[in-house]
Homo-oligomer: A and B are copies of this chain.
Amino acid sequence: MEYTKCINFLLTIAQHEVFLVFSENLSKFGITPGQYGVLACLWKDETLTPKEIANILRVENSTISGVLDRMQKRGLIDRILNPNNRRSISVRATKEGLALKEPVQKKIEELNDLVLRNFSPQEREEILSLLGRIGHLQLEQS
């Protein structure tokens, strides 16, 4: 098999290139792609536990805790007592975090259009669906 036909190589190259574009453009709002992910969750559901956010974003609990620390320091989120269980902590967006919703969502749409600008609408559907299938597979180890 040609190295350049290896799914791991192709995914890594494509992810790296697209991630750079998103990073650079989101830095103008003072956020990273990962922080955008957290905000997107909190724009949809007002309060979530760190564990719920980690599950939605498919990252480790230990990863999300560092991301939340930086976002709290930056004034984008608050940690509050969970309204449903006062022994646990929930996260919600601050006023500043909510104010980013409109401009950031607009930029995200633009970046998706930019990255996929040479794709037909059908190819665009196709790549999203195929990537979703790879990402959500519970792969057995051989």
Contacts and interface: CB of A to CB of B under 8 A. Distances in A.
A12 interface: yes
Main secondary structure of the interface of A (DSSP, over half): helix
Given A110-B142, A111-B142, A134 B7 contact: no
A141 B24 CA distance: 9
Nearest to A24: B141
A53 B4 CA distance: 13
Given A6-B108, A7-B112, A11-B19, A130 B135 contact: no
Interface of A: 1, 3-19, 21-22, 24-25, 33, 37, 40-41, 44, 58, 105, 108-112, 114-116, 118-119, 123, 126-128, 130-137, 139-142
Contacts of A140: 114
Contacts of A8: 18-19, 22, 33, 111, 115
